[in-house]
Amino acid sequence: MAKRTIQGVPVRGRRVIVRVDYNVPLTDAGEVADDRRIVESLPTLKYLREEGARLILLSHLGRPRGPDPSLSLRPVRDRLSEVLGLEVSLSSDVAGPDSRRRAEGLRDGEVLLLENLRFHPGEEANDPAFAGQLADLGELFVEEAFGTVHRAHSSTVGVARLLPTYAGFLVEREVRALSRLLAGFERPFVALLGGAKVADKLPLLEGLGPRTDGLLLGGAIALPFLDAKGHGGGDRRKSSPLDELARRFLDRSKAWSGRILLPVDVVVEERSSGRTEVRTPEQVGPEETIYDIGPQTRALFLDALREARTVFWNGPLGKAEDPRYSAGTREVLKGLSGVRGWRVSAGGDSARLAQDLGVLDSFDYVSTGGGAALEFVEGRRLPGLEVIPDADGEGDASRDESGSRSSPSDSRT
C-alpha cells in the first residue's frame, strides 16, 4: 500500500496545506504535556521549509462544541515554534478572513497554523463548502496526520479531493510499518491485547485473529472470555451481553490455527479493605475486583512470546496507570526486548504508557495512531488514505500535478 509522497515535488514559492495531528494532551496550566506528535511531524515540515514551501498547517484539538478558548491551538503553536526554531503564526479563525490574509502573506519557509479545525461545524461533517474554503488557502495538500485518516472529515478527505495530494513522511512510515502486520509478516505472529474498551476491541480481534498464531488477552478485554469459558468470578458472576459476543468469537476461532491464551491467575483488590491478593479467575470473590494479571500468567505470556517473529501490542494488561497494578504489563513488555522479531505497538495511549513504564525500547516501531492504527491493522480501508494516490499512480486522484481541480460547481454543491 505505498502512497505517493511529497518527496521531489516542486514546492518552492507554493502554499502547501499540511494536515498534522496536534491533538496533544495539555497540562492544567494549559501547556503541552506530551509533544511527541509535534516532534513526529518535524521531518516533513523541515523538508518542505528547506524546499521553499509556504506552510499552512491544519489540526484539531479535543472535542469542542464550537469555539472554546480552553482548546485553542495557541499552546501547540508556542511549542511548535520552539521545536522548529522560528515564529509560527496562528490565525484567529478557521479558514476565515484572518486565515486568508495570513496565508496570502506567507513567504518561502514561513509557517501558519490555523485555529482548531473543530471550532467549525463543517470539519466533522465533511462539509464541501468548508473543505473548499480550506483548499482555497493552498495549492498542494499533504496528509501527515495518520491518527485521523480513519475519519472522513473536511481536512482529511474533503481538501484531498480538491488539491493534488501526497503523503507526508510520517504517514508513509506508518503505512509501511503497519502493512507488515497485514501481509508478508514472519511467523510465529503473536498479538498481545489488553485495555478496557472490550466492545471496541472485538473488531480488532476479528481482524487479527485469523492471521495470528496466538492471541494473548489481558486486562478488561479478557474478562468476558473468561466468563464465556466458565472461569469468571467476582463481581462478574452475572451474565453480560459481552459474554455472548465472546462466546461467539471463541466458537469462530476454532477454525483458526492459532491459539487464544487467557489469564490463569489475576491480582485482585478487596473493595472494602483495599487488600490485594493473587487468585485464579474462578476464586475471585464477589467483593473483589481484578486489576492485573498474576505471576503465572506473566510467565505463560512470556513463554508464548519468546519464539515469536512478529509481535503486535495494544492496551495494558491491567490497571497499569496505578503502580500497584502495573507489574503485569511492565514485566511482559520488558520481556519483549528479548524477542528477535518485529515488535510493534499501536493504538490509544499505548505509546505513552510504554514510555511511563520504561519499556519503549522493547519495540521496533511505535505508531502515532490510535483508532486509525487499530482499524488499519484490522484490515479496514481508511478514507484518509484512500484519497491519496498510490505510488504507482493508481488511486483516488481527482486533481492533477499542476494544482488544477474540479470546478467549484462540481465539488462544493
Active-site positions read: 37, 197, 348, 371
Q: What letter does residue 33 receive in the DSSP assignment?
A: S
Contact 205, 215 (CB under 8 A): yes
Q: Counting beta carbons within 10 angstroms of the beta carbon of residue 43, is it exposed (0 to 12), middle (13 to 18) or buried (19 or more)?
A: middle
**What's the CA gap between 266 and 276, in Å, rounded?**
10
Cα-based distances in Å from 196 to 278, 316, 319 = 20, 8, 9
Round to whole Å and give the CA distance between 193 and 195.
7
Q: Is 314 helix (H, G, I), strand (E, B) or coil?
A: strand
Q: What SS3 class is residue 58?
A: strand
CB 88 within 8 A of CB 42: no
Report yes or no: 146 and 375 within 8 Å, Cβ to Cβ: no
Please give the single-letter amino acid code of residue 253: S
3-state secondary structure of 395: coil
Look at phi and psi of residue 83 and say left if phi exceeds 0, alpha if psi is from -120 to 50, else beta. Answer: alpha
Three-class DSSP category at 180? coil
Nearest alpha carbon to residue 120 among 159, 156, 94, 151:
94
Asked if 143 contacts 389 with a C-beta cutoff of 8 angstroms, the reply is: no
Helix (H) / strand (E) containing 260: strand 259-261
Q: How many helices (H) and strands (E) does the chain have?
A: 15, 15
Q: Is 407 exposed, middle or buried (0-12, 13-18, 19+ CB in 10 A)?
A: exposed
Q: What grid cell was written down for 209?
A: 485473529
